Structure 1
Amino acid sequence: MLAFELNVAGPVHLEMTGKFVAPSSDWIHLSRILQDYELIIMTEGVLYLAGDDTRYTLSKGEYLLLPPYTRQYGYKASGCSFYWLHFKTAGGPAVTDSTGHTADQTETRLLLPQCGTVKSLEKIIVMMKQLQDSVRSYNQKTLNNYMTTVILCELYNQVFHNEHSPVKKTKQEQLYNDIVDYIKWSRSEHIKVSQLAAYFGYNVKYLSHLFTTISGIPLKQYILQQKMELAKFLLTDTNQNISEVSLQLGYKDCHNFMKSFKKIVGLTPTDFRNAYAKRLLFYE
């Protein structure tokens, strides 16, 4: 798989960023030659995009990184939405094969595969929205450059580092990972620890102890944290009101949701939304 080696000894240079929403299902990406790197992170629908002679089909939760001087064009109608940012790094684009290069990683270089799936789309999107708010609120280059670099570092840790970890998983670690996946897929439901124990065939005390031993936090607390991560994404990326967000997370009482959110995040849902309210939205 192709990967790009990015120099992060200093911050990368942000050129532009925004969120794109296709005006219709017939929209096709324009044709152009990129003058810088472009990172695309999908949030909805499917994007049919080509880079030179390679065609990509990108769905929600997937990303694509295209280097400078790439001939970029849509090859099929795409009803979709995605976050994007353009940036430059010191030196020209370095292309390599990502296989077998983990030993060469340093704190000043990131080796990012050209495309892949992010582990936590919500976290990346919140960071992208914070960057956009910074651009609109301050437009201070140094701040924006560092925030862009942090996003790339987060993407690297989500995609590359975790996928290539050589650590062999034990039976307990695999069970822990299965619990984590179950919770992430069920965050819109009212999840109880007893429900998890019944699903995986263990008693509540054993499952709770196992999870706390590996993660360092109680299972019940982790469930709540994951719900609030999804809540932050919905407050950041949608225009749903607080009641709609609470219902989507499985809360019957909006006040209970607001109380839980304030406890975990430190802000009310409204204060959190207002803190990073200035999204940059594009339709062309």
Structure 2
Amino acid sequence: MPNSKAGTKKDQMMIFPENKLFHYLRSGKFVALSSDWKHASLPLRFDYELIVVTEGTLFLRYMDEDFSVSEGEYLILPPSGDNRSGFKKAYCSFYWSHFTIDMEQFPARVSKEDSAAYQRASCYLLPQKGTVPRPQRMIVQMKQLQDLERNNYPDITLNAAMTAIVTELYGQLLSELPKDSDPIGNKQVYSDIVDYIRLNISENIKISDIANAFGYSPKYLSHLFSVVRGTSLKQFILSQKIETASYLLSDTDQTVSEIAALVGFSDMHNFSRAFKRVTGLTPTAYRNTYAKRLLYHT
């Protein structure tokens, strides 16, 4: 069992070796039945647990630390001899996955100050807790993993899917960092644009609308975004709408027409065409494929 390195408990970084598959164990979605729910005291001996909260706040105590994980945030728990348990009652819902990985000589986590040495040793590091930049995308992948398990896919497929989820989180966090190659130096403007799109996802967002909101010309704003992001602003707007729609299709009972409206499409046919162009499936086919989930109540 990997041991967690002693030291400060702030800014803990989880270590994962590159070029290794995780060993998937189990996963599901949990929904509390009321605001009086508190996480039971349960062991986590040899497993890692990845949690992504979709509603409310999860209050969890583990290894003498109290974690408050809110909607859109994640938490990774390393193996230990301790139990994880709730320290406060609250309503919440979250997706969870358990996995193991052969860490060889590496510890499960280290303090942020010690992380550089492990990065040089063919490892990648994730903050133990943080915000998921694109939670809908990650949740859809967790739903797809559950679908694979329900349909009796082989271990190699489940292991690869579990690995893809953690590396998706790593990729999302890395993509949010400023790029040294950004000659304009407008990372903050880029972040504000992304926030604007996510906050106005239910609108028919036009580049001219965003340009007016930030006081730039549409041409300049599109160029700035492409330089920082590496993709066009128009493509990014569409991708955010499709990611949100994918999440709603797989995790809610809202109709396809309601979901189309929620992501800014006034015409169902345009929504269906756009969705199929990006995902390869119609909205209905996507829902039929990925709407199953392993749901737990306690």
What TM-score results when the alignment is normalised by the length of structure 2?
Answer: 0.86
- In structure 1, the partner of 2:71 is 60
Q: Could you tell me which of 94, 114, 122 is aligned with 2:108?
A: 94
In the alignment, does 2:158 pair up with 1:144?
yes
Q: How does 1:78-227 map to 2 (within 5 A)?
A: 78-91=90-103, 93-99=107-113, 101-102=115-116, 104-105=118-119, 109-159=123-173, 161-162=174-175, 167=180, 170-227=184-241
Contact 2:58–2:92 (CA<8 Å) still a contact in 1?
yes
CA distance in 2, matches of 1:222, 1:81: 28
In the alignment, does 2:53 pair up with 1:42?
yes
Structure 1 residues 187, 139: closer, same or farther in 2, change over 3 A? same
Structure 1 residues 262, 115: closer, same or farther in 2, change over 3 A? same
Structure 1 residues 77, 214: closer, same or farther in 2, change over 3 A? closer
Structure 1 residue runs without a partner (length 5+)? none
CA distance in 2, matches of 1:200, 1:166: 22
Count of residue pairs brought into register by the alignment: 283
After superposition, the C-alpha distances for 1:102-145 in whole angstroms (9 at most, x for unaligned) are: 46426953322211111110111011011000000124211111
Structure 2 residue runs without a partner (length 5+)? 1-10
CA distance in 2, matches of 1:157, 1:226: 16
Which one-letter code corresponds to 2:218 in the other structure?
Answer: V
Structure 1 residues 260, 107: closer, same or farther in 2, change over 3 A? farther
SS of the aligned residue for 2:156 comes to helix
After superposition, the C-alpha distances for 1:153-181 in whole angstroms (9 at most, x for unaligned) are: 1112223x356667386344443332222
What TM-score results when the alignment is normalised by the length of structure 1?
Answer: 0.90
After superposition, the C-alpha distances for 1:55-89 in whole angstroms (9 at most, x for unaligned) are: 11110111111111232101111201000011111
CA distance in 1, matches of 2:261, 2:177: 37
- In structure 1, the partner of 2:40 is 30
CA distance in 2, matches of 1:218, 1:164: 18
Contact 1:98–1:111 (CA<8 Å) still a contact in 2?
no
CA distance in 2, matches of 1:221, 1:164: 20
CA distance in 1, matches of 2:110, 2:54: 28
Contact 2:251–2:291 (CA<8 Å) still a contact in 1?
no
Which one-letter code corresponds to 1:42 in the other structure?
Answer: V
Which one-letter code corresponds to 1:237 in the other structure?
Answer: D
% identical aligned pairs: 46
Q: CA RMSD in A?
A: 2.3
Of residues 256-265 and 192-201 in structure 1, the stretch that sits farther from structure 2 once superposed is 256-265
Contact 1:33–1:72 (CA<8 Å) still a contact in 2?
yes
After superposition, the C-alpha distances for 1:207-242 in whole angstroms (9 at most, x for unaligned) are: 234434554544333222221111111112222110
Of residues 243-252 and 168-177 in structure 1, the stretch that sits farther from structure 2 once superposed is 168-177
CA distance in 1, matches of 2:228, 2:15: 33
Which one-letter code corresponds to 2:274 in the other structure?
Answer: S
Superposed displacement of residue 268, structure 1: 0.8
CA distance in 1, matches of 2:291, 2:275: 18
Structure 1 residues 32, 257: closer, same or farther in 2, change over 3 A? same
- In structure 2, the partner of 1:20 is 30
Q: Could you tell me which of 239, 242, 247 is aligned with 2:256?
A: 242
Structure 1 residues 279, 209: closer, same or farther in 2, change over 3 A? same
Superposed displacement of residue 42, structure 1: 0.5
